[in-house]
Structures are given as C-alpha cells and as structure tokens.
C-alpha cells in the first residue's frame, strides 16, 4: 500500500469515527431527566387549567427508542424519548375550546405555541416548554359527557443508561 493510499484510508477512518461519535448517546441528557421534564410539563399544564379540573394519567411515562422512527422522532441508538399522556376533566362551566385557546396565556413566557401540523375538527394546541424540548398536545376530547382534554407530552431523546 502506498503512503498516499494509507493516508487516504486513515483520513476516511478518522472522518467516519468523528461522524459516529458526534451523535453518540453520551451527548444526550439522561432519560430519567427528560422523563422528569415531561412529567413536570404536564404538571404545569394541569395547574394552568380552570379550578376544579381533575387530571388522570393514562399509566406511567413510557419509553420509546429514538432510533425507532416512531412519531417522527429519530436519534442515536441508546436513546429514548418519554411519553406522558392522560385526560383532564374540566368543571361543568368550562368550555374545552376556550380553555385551550387561553392556555398559552395562562402558562406564560416559558411556553411557545407550535404548529399542530394537521387540521382537526377539535380544538387543539401544541405547546413547547422552553429549554426542555418537551412538546405537549392538548386536544378537546370528542364525544358526549363532561368537557375534557386529552394531554400528550413527548420529550426530546434521552440517553438510556
């Protein structure tokens, strides 16, 4: 092997190694941290709902590998995102569409409204908690009965240790 060929092989190997380590899971926050951030975001949303609202989680936070492509979220192997979901029943006097419209103001400056990305007939808002990468969809529950909101929060990718 010539010196030039050896140098080219070393250069390609170095570039490959650098590109693989640039996305290494070590750069991601710990999954336990992103799960806590996601749970905290839901807690903030629920606290901003009208007095008398009751929130029921749909089980514990779930973990989905970021490399699965689920929900359009991708990330390096060894990382997962946390999903927290539940339902908030609103007091009898509350209108779900109005509560959702007022939610960004009630939450304050630490939150941003994002585009939902699809048109739905129900009132919905996608909110992002600043600095955490947590995205929360709040959607009016369809059907009869008490006014209710479906809450779905998804974190950024977190390193699974």
CB of 24 closer than 8 Å to CB of 56? no
pLDDT digits (tens, 9 = 90+) for 42-81: 999 999 999 999 999 998 888 888 875 555 545 556 788 8
- Give me the residue spans of the domains in the chain: 27-159
Read off the pTM. 0.76
Largest CA distance in the chain: 81
CATH 3.40.47 fits 27-159, yes or no: no
Smallest CA-to-CA distance from 135 within 118, 117, 113 is with: 113
């Amino acid at each position: 092997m010539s010196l030039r060929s050896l140098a080219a092989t070393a250069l390609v190997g170095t570039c490959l190694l650098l590109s693989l380590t640039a996305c290494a899971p070590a750069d991601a926050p710990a999954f336990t941290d992103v799960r806590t951030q996601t749970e905290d975001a839901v807690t903030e949303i629920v606290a901003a709902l009208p007095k008398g609202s009751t929130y029921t989680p749909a089980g514990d936070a779930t973990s989905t590998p970021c490399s699965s492509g689920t929900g359009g979220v991708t990330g390096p192997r060894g990382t997962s995102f946390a999903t927290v979901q539940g339902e908030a029943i609103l007091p009898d006097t509350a209108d779900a569409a109005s509560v959702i419209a007022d939610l960004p103001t009630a939450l304050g400056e630490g939150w941003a409204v994002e585009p939902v990305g699809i048109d739905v007939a129900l009132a919905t808002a996608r909110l992002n908690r600043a600095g955490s990468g947590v995205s929360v969809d709040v959607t009016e529950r369809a059907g009869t009965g008490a006014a209710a909101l479906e809450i779905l929060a998804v974190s950024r990718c977190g390193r699974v240790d």
